[in-house]
Structure 1
Amino acid sequence: MADKDGAQGGEDQAAGGWGSWGWNMVESVGKTLTTAMGYEDMEVVDPNAGEDGTQNANGTANWKNDTSLDRRGMSEESKSFWGKISQMIGADVTSMLSVPVFLMEPTSVLQKMSEIMEYHLLLTRAAKATEDAEKMAWTAAFAVSVYASAERTWKPFNPVLGETFQLKLDGGEEGEDGEYLAEQVSHHPPIGAAHAETPYWTYDIVSCPKTKFLGNSLEVYPVGRTRIKFKSSDEELSLVPPTSKAYNLVLGKIWVDTYGELVIENHTNGWKTVLEFVPCGYFGAGRYVVKGNVTDAEGNPRLYVDGKWNDNLGFSQCDKSGAPVGDRTEMWKASKKPEGDAYGMTSFVHTHLNAWKGGPLLKSDSRLRPDRCALELEKSGEAQTHKHQLEERQRAEKKKRTEDGNEWSPRWFRLDDELQSSLRDHEYTTEDCPPWVFKKFPEAGELAQVEAEYHDKAAETFSPWQYPDME
């Protein structure tokens, strides 16, 4: 979602990018609408049962139509608000609603994109695997792992155009370290791009998600493009995530489900992994379940992969029908979340995303946003002021660009029209998702020395601007 006429976001992006953005988008929209309607304390005992506890003949719950909410008991202000949001039904609301700081968490959307890197060593395991089937299974574990951090109910800050985020990737016992860089490359529509690289693999993502507001629910389509390359074998893989949907945005307690297929295809040898994210059934049946197969170039099942997307993933040998046989090898287990965290953040957020050990860093880095820093220090009023100032500054820059006849050019990514020729059938077109590709990592002379205790100096340090000297 994006602030109206302000800094654009795209928290719909899944995963590390695509998934994380989507989850936070639906939660934040829901909180905004529910609070404004005055129903923030209303509970829904079972999100899958009908109003009267019954089901229709086709097995679906007897919910009221999203657009036929009972207005009895609503204040005139609430009726007026519902009249306004009713006009949004069927629309993409990523740039229609402004979200106040009290609904936000102290991270940027670009930081949310990077959460897939919490378990980046899974991708190293995939790159080192000697068997094609296991290579695909470990890649699937990497792709699914980001969803373990996707249930937070707070909204990250929308990136300013030109904002960046850097992350060092610890090689651990698997090998050498790596590097990650993300940049907000477009304001309208909101688009983020990121590149990660280690001695074993590269990871690229472009995220430009879409939403559809349905009245009391919201569908999130993770429009984007993810490519992974294994250096030693020169293999390239594409990844397309499933869809998310938030329920009870206006009436009831918000809950979110992810359903559909996660598709990973090896462009080099034709192997494929298709995992089904099972829709949540009645009384929560099947919640979080993910399952599917790794298939060879001829479409024959070679491994069975299953688990829960918020907790674990493993693989087993399978028969010709794809059914599991034999013992299960667990590939990934979600780290335990800190207890009592006000935002429900993972330890990875605290130790990597919102922390800096000091040293060279781009002045456009998300950590240095003064509104984010103030909120992290629990200074919400100050955070709101900084947020407004950043949005006004971004509008002023846009106006000056227009007056001067200049265009914005991202520093670390560029458009590559030749990418269209390598798209797979299951990938989004370059019209739906522009072909942003990585240029280079920053050189030493392009970085500033930033101290580990950067919060108090954030307002004077943060600079993603095209005209840094503009008043």
Structure 2
Amino acid sequence: MSEQGKGSASASTAAPAPGSDTYKGWLFKWTNYLKGYQRRWFVLSNGLLSYYTQAEMAHTCRGTINLATAHIDTEDACNIVLSSGGRTYHLKASTEVERQRWVTALELAKAKAIRMMNDQSDSGDEEPTSQSDRSEIQGTLKILVSKLDDLSTCNDLIAKHGAALQRSLSELEGLKVPLEGGEKIKAVNERATLFRITSNAMINQACRDFLDLAETHSRRWQRALQYEREQRTHLEETIEQLAKQHNSLERAWREAPTHVSSTPSAPTNNQSGRVNKEEASDEDEDTEYFDAMEDSPAFITVTTSESTQHRSQSNLSGASGGQASDWNQDDPMSPSCNDVSGKELQPRRQRRTRIPDKPNYSLNLWSIMKNCIGKELSKIPMPQVNFNEPLSMLQRLSEDLEYHELLDKAARCESSLEQMCLVAAFSVSSYSTTVHRTAKPFNPLLGETYELDRLEEFGYRSLCEQQVSHHPPAAAHHVISQRGWTLWQEITIASKFRGKYLSIMPLAIHLQFHSSGNHYVWRKVTSTVHNIIVGKLWIDQSGDIEIVNHKTKETCQLKFSPYSYFSRDVPRKVTGVVADSGGQAHYILSGTWDDKIESSKIIQSSRGGSGSEGKQKTVYQTLSPKLLWKKYPLENAENMYYFSALALTLNELEEDVALTDSRLRPDQRLMEDGRWDEANAEKQRLEEKQRAARRKREAEATDALDEREYEGYQPLWFHQRRNSVTGETNFVYKGGYWEAKEQQDWSMCPDIY
């Protein structure tokens, strides 16, 4: 590192107290090994930390970090490390006191940003209330008081006229009238009394209680209203700033004389060099390598020759009861994991290999998205199918079975460690279908199902059901295979649209092998869709997956490295280590989540020297890597929504499916056929029908005579049970679907189409 990078920073300029909304000052920011730390002007405002160079302070922002999702750390007396979304800033203050001021300001800003994001309108902090908001609430309360006075007047009149009515009825009772007439007068008198009592109760109890409640919560309404307005203004300003930065970067890129070749805005499969990314460049003139170093694995692999294995095998003892066989020497699968018969995997039915090409429609995405900032993804209104692909979310969930043969092979493995390698490859393979799939699947209707019956061809049956409330979409998935395994999962999409990108939260998956009883559980990584507003949409997967075999306590740690413009690693990189119950590593996994995964057997391990971050790395000596999984190639995919081979068959019409099956959904079928105008009209009809059905269920629950709590929609094929392994409560298959299919009895299915 240069002397400039190692030297202390000069004094920062005076800044407001950390408690204020805006904090400014000079800090030194690490750029690269050639230039070290460079002086930058930092501005902390509205939960965003932005920085500028001295020459461009008035007009060009070099980078921004949202503190609501940032991690704040301190390395030594003067250093600060900020990391968020794959981006890391290494900062240095002039003194320890100045460093502490910045840390305090950052922590306060982060806490406030998190409070705003979580919508804690009932927190103890009073939100500032404008005069217009206060007037609006007070005006509403005055109208309520006025209406209550009118009701009181009506109540007085009812009481007055009711009393007169009762006097008249009493006089009639005193007259000599036939017995039958006297009984009728008495009944009318009783009804008049009940009417007077009811009207008094309505005015004196129900209406006054309502007004008291409104007055009690008026301040909370004011805070909530003001918060929503501030949040909307803040997010709109952020989007405008991001759009300006994007345009500025595009303009600079086009005008730069050194850029003579075109670079795509999103990573591609055949790209070996660095790839352009909209939010990657913090400083055009400086090359930063911290992202690459931060994301590097905590181990180093050294490939050795086959002959070395026998000399080093003794260094890797205690391998799961001798199960660590030499399966990686000659073939990616040991003999116990190979296919029993090649004929087993030959399909018996010819399925379609293409769908109608996607029409080319232009859309103004910003005109729709600008009113949706901060909302749940599932609640963003999509009035057109133009944003969709002709598949339901239930069908997308079934795509996890694209490479099911990995589980077939794993079921035949005698070694649980070898089995873990194949399970890990299967978990990574499910992401290969998402690399260019930027369109949104159709939100399933409540009660919608999807079956994937490949019993005759591949030995498995899969069933999905949309079984919980429509917002957020929640679905259950169950797969059972005659080749020795069962898989089940439940998905609830919880994501927020933040203007420039959206993230889809992970879900848990269970996998159990019948013969061994090995029960694997893992949770998917976060999927992020970038460039929602400007630029070309692209998808990234980042985070860690821990696969646990709850029977043997063996684990696999997988790391999905976030994409970085400055990283020298291959894009979409995945690395992993398979370890036994004692934590001893036996296999190294490596590859990319969009192409292939390889395994390398460890024959020796040792502690290496410290890396650039001061972390000691483990050096693994391994055999040559062997292929576990590779993505199937597919021609003309770009014209067919980038569907995989399995996805092309998911919406193919089948006989004897349930009346609620996704294949029968009319708007989805029309979209696949290219009749998008008709599909848009049908989509709106189905959504209104679903809303009407929900209103009907709620009304029936309200009108029910008993006092039982309304339980909502109950799924047909799944029910909630507590998992004995994880202790979590989730929806599991209760049976009956395939029997109903065999008998062709779908009378229990709701009418959703």
**TM-score band, normalised by the shorter chain?**
0.7 to 0.9
Q: Give per-residue Cα distances to partners, 1:381-430, cap 9 Å, x unaligned.
A: 111111111111111111111122273110110011x32x5327xxxxx4
Structure 1 match to 2:63: none
Question: How far apart in 1 are the matches of 2:513 and 2:400?
Answer: 17
Q: Structure 1 CA distance, aligned partners of 2:739 and 2:667?
A: 27
Question: Residue 169 and residue 467 in structure 1: after superposition, are their counterparts in 2 closer, same or farther (change >3 A)?
Answer: closer
Sequence identity of aligned pairs in percent? 30
For 2:467 and 2:719, the matched residues in 1 are separated by 9
Partner of 2:490: 206
Return the offset for 1:196: 0.2
Alignment of 1:57-456 (within 5 A): 59=290, 84-86=371-373, 88=374, 92-98=376-382, 100-151=384-435, 152-169=437-454, 177-186=459-468, 187-199=470-482, 200-222=484-506, 224-283=507-566, 285-286=568-569, 287-318=571-602, 319-320=604-605, 321=618, 323=620, 325-339=622-636, 341-351=639-649, 353-356=650-653, 358-405=654-701, 407-416=712-721, 418-419=722-723, 422-423=725-726, 430=728, 435-446=730-741
CA contact 1:338–1:347 (8 Å) conserved in 2: no
Alpha carbons 2:448, 2:466 under 8 Å: kept = yes
Distance (whole Å) between structure 2 residues aligned to residue 164 and residue 337 of structure 1: 28
Alignment partners' CA distance in 1, 2:577 and 2:557: 6
- Residues in 1 aligned to 2:695 and 2:748: alpha-carbon distance in whole angstroms: 16
Q: Compute the TM-score of the two structures, normalised by the length of structure 1.
A: 0.74
**1:155-191 CA-partner distances (Å, limit 9, x unpaired):** 111100111111123576xxx6111000001123310
Equivalent residue of 2:423, what SS? Answer: helix
- Deviation for aligned residue 1:95: 1.5
Q: Residue deviations 1:208-229, cap 9 Å, x none? A: 122233332223221x221100
**Residues 599 and 625, structure 2, Cα contact 8 Å, conserved in 1:** yes
3-state secondary structure, aligned to 1:422: coil
Rounded Cα–Cα distance in structure 2 between residues aligned with 1:437 and 1:78:
38
Change (3 A) 1:445 1:265: closer
The answer to whether the 8 A contact 2:383-2:684 is kept is no
- Higher mean C-alpha deviation, range 437-446 or range 262-271: 437-446
| Structure 2 residue identity aligned to 1:354 | N
Compute the displacement of 1:438 (Å): 1.1
- Measure, in 1, the Cα distance between the counterparts of 2:283 and 2:655: 60
The alpha carbon displacement at 1:262 in A equals 1.5
Specify every segment of 5 or more residues in structure 1 that has no aligned partner in the other structure, as ranges: 1-32, 62-76, 425-429, 451-460
Separation in 1 of the partners of 2:738 and 2:371?
49
* 1:122/1:138 contact within 8 Å kept: yes
Task: Determine the C-alpha separation between the residues in 2 that align with 1:85 and 1:262.
Answer: 31
Contact 2:372/2:497 (8 A) holds in 1? no
Q: Give secondary structure in 1 for the equivalent of 2:520.
A: strand
TM-score by length of 2: 0.48
Q: Deviations over 1:428-454 (max 9, x none)?
A: xx4xxx51111115144456879xxxx
What is the alpha-carbon distance in structure 1 between the residues aligned to residue 658 and residue 643 of structure 2? Answer: 24
Asked if the contact 1:363/1:448 (under 8 Å) is kept, the reply is no
Shift of residue 133, structure 1, vs aligned partner: 1.2
Change (3 A) 1:323 1:391: same
1:99–1:56 distance in 2 versus 1, CA, 3 Å: farther
Q: CA offset at residue 372 of structure 1?
A: 0.9
Deviation at 1:345, TM superposition (A): 1.1
Deviates more, 1:242-251 or 1:198-207: 242-251
Query: Aligned-pair RMSD on alpha carbons?
Result: 3.3
CA 1:322–1:230: 2 relative to 1, 3 Å: farther
Deviation at 1:293, TM superposition (A): 0.7
The verdict on how the C-alpha distance between 1:194 and 1:441 changes in structure 2, with shifts beyond 3 A counting, is farther
Counterpart of 1:190, as a letter, is P
Structure-2 change in CA distance of 1:285 and 1:47 (3 Å)? farther
Partner Cα separation in structure 1 for residue 381 and residue 748 of structure 2: 24
Is the radius of gyration larger for structure 1 or structure 2? 2
Provide the rounded CA distance (Å) in 1 between the counterparts of 2:546 and 2:627: 20
Q: Counterparts of 1:409 and 1:85 in 2: how far apart (Å)? A: 30
Aligned mates of 1:229, 1:97 — CA distance in 2: 38
The structure whose residues are more often helix, as a share, is: 2
CA distance in 2, matches of 1:78, 1:377: 23
CA separation of 1:138 and 1:103: change in aligned 2, threshold 3 A? same
Q: CA deviation at 1:79?
A: 9.7
How many angstroms apart in 2 are the aligned matches of 1:169 and 1:80? Answer: 43
User: 1 CA distance for matches of 2:714 and 2:285?
Assistant: 56
The runs of 5 or more residues in structure 2 that have no matched partner are 1-238, 251-263, 266-275, 293-363, 606-617, 702-709
CA distance in 2, matches of 1:57, 1:231: 50
